[in-house]
């Protein structure tokens, strides 16, 4: 089972629908025990950084997310979910993020002819190998909706980039933590393959636990 964190953020139903399409059992939940018993956890998100962090604190999910990471449960952030994993955002500089990974969220720089927010399909390059992109060709197109982007402190965790006025760190992976700035659930066949790859990681986690692995 994959738990999708319910903290009043948008985009939850489309994630649920995509996972159901792939044959995966899904629970939309903020219940600690359900989350910690899942084979994988997804933090979706559409909206403002500060508001989202406030909701995560309000529902006690910040501590639960840290437990998920500590227990090595596969954890995937999508769009705003990626941004929340890092230290802070220029959108609300006074608000501290989850800081699961080092890096900051910057505003996409204005440029002539460049529309912000960035809405639409862009191709992705793979500076480092990542389990989410197994079987996916480099320069495949995925769907973005955002005004802010990740600048990761450690380039070795960046598994996908795109160009939109600047180089955007579009996906990261470190241990059991995965994240995408784009929306795999809205990215057609390529996005479904990315979600299937995450499901495969959760299955490996489940099998390891069943065998008593650490």
**Which residues are annotated as catalytic?**
79, 183, 185
Within 13 Å and on the Cβ side, how many CA atoms surround 151? 12
Instruction: Locate 56 and state its tokens.
Output: 């995560």
- How does strand 26-29 pair with strand 2-5? parallel
Asked if residue 123 lies in contact with residue 161, where contact means CB atoms within 8 angstroms, the answer is no
Query: From CA 135, how far away is CA 103, in angstroms rounded?
Result: 28
SS3 199: helix
- Tell me the CA distances in angstroms from 167 to 123, 124, 128, 129, 199, one per residue in order: 12, 11, 15, 18, 28
């Amino acid at each position: 089972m994959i738990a999708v964190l319910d903290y009043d953020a948008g985009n939850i139903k489309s994630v649920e629908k995509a996972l159901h399409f792939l044959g995966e059992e899904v629970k939309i939940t903020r219940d600690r025990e359900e989350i910690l018993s899942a084979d994988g956890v997804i933090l979706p998100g559409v909206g403002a950084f500060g508001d989202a962090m406030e909701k995560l604190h309000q529902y006690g999910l910040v501590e639960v997310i840290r437990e998920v990471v500590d227990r090595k449960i596969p954890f995937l952030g999508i769009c705003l979910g990626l941004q929340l994993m890092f230290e802070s955002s220029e959108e609300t500089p006074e608000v501290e993020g989850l800081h699961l990974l080092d890096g900051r969220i910057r505003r996409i720089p204005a440029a002539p002819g460049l529309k912000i927010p960035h809405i639409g399909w862009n191709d992705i390059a793979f500076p480092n190998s990542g389990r989410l992109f197994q079987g996916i060709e480099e320069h495949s197109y995925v769907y973005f909706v955002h005004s802010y982007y990740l600048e990761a402190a450690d380039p070795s965790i960046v598994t996908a980039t795109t160009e939109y006025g600047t180089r955007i760190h579009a996906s990261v992976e470190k241990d059991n933590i995965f994240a995408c700035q784009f929306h795999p659930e809205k990215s057609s066949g390529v996005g479904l393959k990315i979600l299937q790859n995450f499901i495969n990681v959760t299955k490996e986690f489940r099998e390891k636990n069943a065998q008593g692995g650490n």
